[in-house]
Structure 1
Amino acid sequence: MDRPSRPARVLASALATGALLVTAACAGDTGPPEAAPASPAAKQSPSSPSLSSLSSSSQSPSPSSPSASASRALTTNGAKAALITEADIEDAWTQVNNASSWRDKLLAGKVDVASFLNGKTSSQDCQKLLDGLYSDTLLGRPVGASALTGFTQGDARLLYQVGDYGKGSLEKSLDWMKSLSDTCDQFTVTGSDGGKRTVQVVSSPLPAVGDGRQGLTLTVQGTSNGEPVTLKLDVGAVRVGSSGILVTNGGPSGVDHDSTETAVQQGTQRLRQVLAGKTPSPTPTTLD
């Protein structure tokens, strides 16, 4: 997939951000995600390091993965320390303090069961995908400490989450995500306004980091204020022991895949350091 040109650090147009992204009152971004409603139909920096050995496998561990990666449980302070910063991702990303309230309206709606050959089963997976993205619970609810933060660049948003979800639960989540490019490769959604949207899901490569990983790219096409609009979103998840990170990145102008990969790579390194009882460096770690 061709990498889109990176937008300059400018304010997004009132139409794009106002129509697509609903931001609630400013909330802290260092705690766990807010509780999600029953369903979105009911809820809705220095240069980056070089990236190598890309992989979308949710099972293959990184060759450099230490066996003691999960030797410590993630604490509240550790989760906060494991969050990436502006220095960890390239370009003109600006850290914000209201990421926990971000919501993408194009992700809210009811999946059309009739668009699936096997009906209900596949539509439930696709509904779960949209619901999880909208409510910041794609990896489930943390069973331990968690934290999140967010960054903006033009009309793009990058949300970064880290938490203790339990090893078994994370492995199931990654396996499920891996199946979505087949189960939910293309489907339709009806929004609360009755408008139809088309969603496409494909697998996308991630750096070979952590004990398991999976990447996806979503393209959502619909209308806003009577005008055609497209939301493109990268999703990257990585398991390190019983802890996991989740990155979502994109917007109406497209998605910068390099920023997704850098966030995943640097975030995994920070999480490993925290779980090893170390304090992550304030400057990005250079990795081969």
Structure 2
Amino acid sequence: MPLPPARLLAAALAAAALLTVSGCLSREPDRANGTGTDAPSTGPGSAAAPALTAAQAQSALITETDLGGPWTPTEGTATWRDGLLKATTNVPDCQRLLDVLYSDELLGDQSTTPAVVALDDGDDQAQLRYQVATRHPADVDRTLAWMRTLPQRCEQFTAATTAAGLQYVQVTNAELPVVGDARQGLRVTLTGQTTNDGYDPVTLTLDVAAVRVGDDTIALTNGALGTEPSDVTRQALEVGVQRLTQVRRQTRVQA
């Protein structure tokens, strides 16, 4: 007897981790939640750092070795990206958030981002995407300020998807390590409706974070069906900021 469509979708999303086709804050008010800023490394009268070259940005990326097993280079776009993040809602800021998550363009058009890496954790059906780019600090700070408003503006809303039906979305602040000059993190969860045959709905948990380090910025999305691998976002940002700082230090020495 064939399975109902809703049950088929839930089984497909839960079983298939990845497709094989891919190309793809104010001064610190609350350090525990990582939602504020430290004193910026550049200010009035400071000369802007030259943009990272593509090679420099590439060398500032994290790798699967930094995260340890079972992380590996990606084999393709996560199934949940099209299935759950390609969604619509009637709240403008919340729609903008969904669009950013789906396009993975928190820092703007990826064609102008020097370096991007994607890593997969097949055990937890997780995918992490990590970007490094040189962006004007004021532009980045505006993005961080917008992100800070979302736990209030988009705390709970519904979003419609073609593949997975109606999703209940929650947005909260994500705890980040105190690294870089400014940072903001969000945790976004999308949960479908309970199926008619009583099966539990599929839940996607997604961390999205941006950290400004002088004139450079790191953007990260880390998502999984169910529960995310513990501490991966923190680990990636701590290692990544340290590596980016080292690359900038080497650039100054060579200048």
Match of 1:89 among 67, 74, 77: 67
Between Structure 1 and Structure 2, the one with more helix by share is: 2
- Percent of pairs with identical residues: 38
In the alignment of these two chains, the number of paired residues is: 230
List alignment gaps of at least 5 residues for structure 2.
Answer: 1-9, 25-30
The alignment partner of 1:270 has SS state of helix
CA shift at 1:183, angstroms? Answer: 0.7
Structure 2 counterpart of 1:188, from 141, 158, 167: 158
- When normalised by structure 1's length, the TM-score is 0.69
Select the residue among 158, 169, 193 that pairs with 1:199: 169
- List 4+ stretches of structure 1 deviating above 6 A: 65-70
In structure 2, which of residues 196, 203, 210 is the aligned counterpart of residue 230 of structure 1?
A: 203
Query: With structure 2 as the length reference, what TM-score do the two structures score?
Result: 0.77
Matched, 1:164 2:134: yes
Where in structure 2 are the equivalents of 1:243-258 lying within 5 Å? 243-258=216-231
2:119 pairs with 1:151: yes
Indicate how the Cα distance of structure 1 residues 189 and 102 shifts in structure 2: closer, same or farther if over 3 A, else same: closer
- Which shows bigger deviation, 188-197 or 74-83? 188-197
Q: Deviations over 1:27-85 (max 9, x none)?
A: 3x6xxxxxxxxxxxxxxxxxxxxxxx6542242248xx699996342111111111101
Gaps of 5+ in 1: 1-12, 30-52, 114-122, 280-288
C-alpha distance in 1 between matches for 2:80 and 2:168: 22
For residues 99 and 58 of structure 1, do their structure 2 counterparts lie closer, same or farther at Cα, with a shift above 3 Å needed?
farther
Offset, 1:160 = 1.0
Comparing 101-110 with 76-85, greater Cα deviation is found at 101-110
Cα distance in 1 for partners of 2:63, 2:88 equals: 35
CA contact (8 A) 1:196 1:222 kept: yes
Are residues 15 and 101 of structure 1, via their aligned partners in 2, closer, same or farther at CA, if it must alter by over 3 Å?
A: closer
Change (3 A) 1:241 1:224: farther
Residue from 21, 28, 33 that aligns with 1:25: 21
Match of 1:131 among 85, 96, 99: 99
Once residues 266 and 183 of structure 1 are traced to their aligned partners in structure 2, the CA distance between those partners, rounded to angstroms, is 31
Q: CA offset at residue 151 of structure 1?
A: 1.3
User: Which stretch of structure 1 is more off in the superposition, 202-211 or 233-242?
Assistant: 233-242
Assess, with a 3 A threshold, how the Cα gap between structure 1 residues 179 and 71 changes in structure 2: closer, same or farther: same
1:254: Cα distance to partner?
Answer: 1.2
* Partner residue of 2:240 out of 241, 247, 267: 267
| Cα-Cα RMSD | 3.2
Query: Using a 3 Å threshold, how does the CA distance of structure 1 residues 69 and 86 change in structure 2: closer, same or farther?
Result: farther
| Helix, strand or coil at the partner of 1:254 | coil
- Contact 1:177–1:214 (CA under 8 A) maintained in structure 2: yes
Q: CA deviation at 1:209?
A: 0.6
Judged with a 3 Å threshold, the aligned counterparts in structure 2 of structure 1 residues 272 and 239 are, in CA distance, closer, same or farther, namely same
